[in-house]
Amino acid sequence: MNEVLTMPDKQPAYQLLDQLDPHQLSVVINLLRIMVHDDDHLTDNDVQAIAASREYFRKNPKGGVSFEQVFAECGFTMDQIDHSKKAIL
């Protein structure tokens, strides 16, 4: 059976992006660029950081950074994350 994939509604993403401060928005934009492999916008530091990350996980497959730490580095608190989860659900 073939599944038909549909484009999800982008409006919730736009609403969330509108709530970010400039630094948070910059982080999200960089993440999206990496996700779509837009290498033209990656700096040499970005490329080096990605290579270092891949090497780290190759050597430490069970290692990593906690969910909480990633969001804290992006300027979010766990209360904000919990609140946004409830708003989405």
Residue 35 lies in a domain: yes
Per-residue pLDDT 10s for the chain (89 aa) are 455 556 778 888 899 999 999 999 999 988 888 788 766 677 889 889 989 988 988 888 877 777 788 888 888 888 887 776 666 65
Q: What pLDDT does 9 receive?
A: 83
Between the CA of residue 63 and those of 32, 54, 56, 71, what are the distances in Å? 23, 12, 8, 17
Enter the pTM of the model. Answer: 0.38
Range of the domain at 39: 23-88
Structurally, the chain folds into a number of domains equal to 1
Q: How many whole angstroms separate alpha carbon 63 and alpha carbon 37?
A: 24
Q: How many whole angstroms separate alpha carbon 44 and alpha carbon 27?
A: 17
> Which amino acid would we find at residue 25?
L
Residue 8 lies in a domain: no
> Which amino acid would we find at residue 54?
R
Residue 66 lies in a domain: yes
